[in-house]
Chains A and B, each alone.
Chain A
Amino acid sequence: MFTPLLLAHYTATSCLGSGLGATLAALRANRSGLARCQFEDVTLPTCCGAVAGLDRVALPAALARFDCRNHRLALHGLQQDGFLDAVAAARQRYGAQRIGVFLGTSTSGILETEHVYRQRGADGALPAGFDYASTHSLYALAEFVRRLCALGGPAAVVSTACSSSAKVYASAARLIHAGVIDAAIVGGVDSLCLTTLYGFNSLELLAEAPCRPFDRGRDGISIGEAAAFALLERATATDATAVLLCGVGESSDAHHMSSPHPQGLGAQQAMQAALASAGCTPAEVDYINLHGTATPSNDEAEARAVRALFGSALPPASSTKGATGHTLGAAGALEAVICALALREGLVPASTGTRAADPALGLQPPLAPFAAPLRRVLSNSFGFGGTNASLLFARAGDCAS
């Protein structure tokens, strides 16, 4: 059994806005943050979920070497909702060595490398001053956050494509359960770059209009960027409305590098494992935040998996990627925070962007948000390479144990 852990504090920044207030307002209004892609000089006919104002974010002087879009987004995200103050208080409570940092990203600061490849000298060399280790290197994100927060506990970056920042919840939870640490910053940061825009374009997976998850006319993803974090601790004497992580499930498709298992077997295993770890039945889940990227095959595989597991006990299920875009390595953490907001507010988010649900999928994602008393919610995150993670969250008063 998975001993529930408390999301003592959490925050999210995406194209919906900076912090929980803006995110919640957009979810309540069924507003999408997607807009025609105007990132750098990109001319691809697609929409993006860009975070405004990152050009003006300045890193602390002592951490200047970490400067890149991904770390600006990380800093901007950490500065919302008093998150840094909550971490500082936890540092006082537990000690810097007892707090870990486990973050997910898929492309880290690769945009810096993309830029310097346009500035190569006659000998092919990259310009002097390019700091790979502090920008593009995967671990740079965790190192930046660990230094910014003056923490001394274990740290690592998980990079499993679009499940990255869901899986960090599981990694950190295991070390808290084992007594290695008392708390951890978990989360994910991924920022716009050419690799993902032109990469998904090469696979013909970019939608031209804002993406429409589970819609009969869905035709691909919209890429977004986000930074989302939670402070995970043991759940001792919390109030009944606090949000707990009460189950995790991970699996592999063992099928294909860029296509999901057609029956959604891996996805089903991940959801099943999350429920089993919490000692929870499908009928006890009140909402599913689907991975729902809006590609024809991803949504079909996920729908099959959800139908197979939940059958007639299927709760409301929506993808919020039509609102936020697919934030890739940050998606798991962003949608974890959306689930926490859903629980806290008793709000079922809409499947923003969906106009007419594809009848072949057998899901009826809500086309408008609605109020409902939610006790347990499940969040799905799946990625290239056949990686799957599902997280189960609950209000403290409703957690099985």
Chain B
Amino acid sequence: MSTLQATLLGVGAVGPGFADWNTLRALLRGDAEYRPVPCVAPVPNALPAAERRRTGKATRLALAAGFAAVADAAADAATLATVFASSGGDGDNCHAICEALAGSDRLISPTRFHNSVNNAASGYWGIASGAMAPSTMIAAFDGSFAAGLLEAGGLLASGLPQVLLIAYEAAYPAPLHATRLLSGDCALACLLATDAAGPRLRLELCEEAPTVLAQPSLEALRRGIPAARGLTLLQAVAQAQAQRVVLDYIDGLQLAVEVQP
């Protein structure tokens, strides 16, 4: 197949044991010991107060990682197309709605309902950033990071100069947690461009086994949260070595990324 290409301009990361890309980069290089403490979803200060109060954990994670990637690249968020990649929506919100619907009056709040759309993070991002460029929300279960990267690659190939990929996931509360086990909360964002200086990524579908992380606790994180499946790609970037990384995608099909620092 033909390949899609991108240059990585900036990274944002929020997850268990890391609040920024610098910390995560050191962990992925093996320069620091990984201690997976639960992550705190930062308050999205870019939103007006009324909207800020209404955001759930998943949206907060996505916005934090997204704005961090934009800052890392000194880019302008208002001009960027965005791809939000997640296996599902806001689990806390879904739980609250399903509980209300199982009750006698079935009353759900308007805010609960508008937050139930799976593009809620994209909607809040638009309000926070002012970006009127295309934005999407794409899902492929545990392969959602790869699905988002493929979507971003397609957007760049279609002529967009820059695309911000934000993969994010917040753990589901009980009782949904037992049916959709996510080990924690995590968001990784990559600002990608068609033509610029920086690490080059070449994307190619393949049937090879996904790349794993050697460090067991980091590998547990990678396997435990769909957004964290992107950690192998970020490790290659952190190590600044030419590598071929295979990302988990869907049944029988993976996404290989040739990383050229």
Contact = CB atoms under 8 A, between A and B. Distances in A.
> Real complex partners, A and B?
yes
B88 A137 contact: yes
Contact of B154 (A114, A120, A171, A253): A171
Looking at A140, A152, A198, A385, the one whose CB has the most chain B CB atoms below 10 A away is A385
Interface string B96-120: 0111111000111110111111111
Contacts of B158: 174, 177-178
Interface stretch (A155-163, A231-239, A352-360): A155-163
B155 A384 contact: no
B248 to A, nearest CB: 13
Given A202-B109, A203-B110, A384-B114, A177 B157 contact: yes
A383 interface: yes
A124 interface: yes
Interface in B94-144: 94, 97-102, 106-110, 112-120, 122-124, 126-127, 129-141, 143-144
A200 interface: yes
Contact size class for A? 35 or more
Interface string A110-147: 10011001101000111000111100011110110011
Contacts of B236: none
Contacts of B250: 139, 143, 146, 154-155
B162 interface: no
Contact of A257 (B88, B101, B114, B157): B114
Contacts of A124: 174-175
A110 B109 CA distance: 18
A398 to B, nearest CB: 23
B139 A179 contact: no
Given A106-B117, A178-B154, A257 B124 contact: yes
Nearest to B250: A155
Nearest to A132: B179
Is the interface on chain B under 10, 10 to 19, 20 to 34, or 35 or more residues? 35 or more
A202 B98 contact: no
A195 B176 CA distance: 16
Contact of B137 (A110, A158, A256): A158
B13 interface: no
A203 to B, nearest CB: 5
Contacts of A147: 251
Contact of B132 (A138, A171, A203, A251): A251
Contacts of B176: 113, 126, 132
A334 B220 CA distance: 42
A161 B120 CA distance: 9
B110 A202 contact: yes
B157 A161 contact: no
A153 B88 CA distance: 22
B2 A178 contact: yes
A194 B135 CA distance: 27
B205 interface: yes
Contacts of A159: 89, 117-119, 137-139
A160 to B, nearest CB: 4
A157 B132 contact: no
A106 B1 CA distance: 31
Nearest to B111: A257
A32 interface: no
A255 B127 contact: yes
Nearest to A153: B253
B97 A195 contact: yes
B114 A194 contact: no
Contact of A113 (B94, B112, B132, B144): B94
A254 B132 contact: yes
A167 interface: yes
A167 B119 CA distance: 13
Contact of A194 (B101, B141, B147): B101
B119 to A, nearest CB: 4
A266 interface: yes
Contacts of A139: 87, 139-141, 143-144, 250
B169 interface: no
A178 B157 contact: yes
Given A125-B178, A254-B127, 9 more contacts: A131-B179, A137-B139, A142-B140, A153-B253, A160-B119, A161-B119, A167-B136, A199-B116, A385-B119
24 contacts: A117-B99, A117-B102, A132-B176, A133-B180, A139-B139, A142-B140, A143-B251, A146-B251, A156-B151, A160-B135, A160-B137, A161-B117, A181-B1, A195-B98, A198-B106, A202-B107, A251-B134, A252-B134, A257-B114, A258-B110, A266-B132, A386-B123, A386-B127, A387-B123
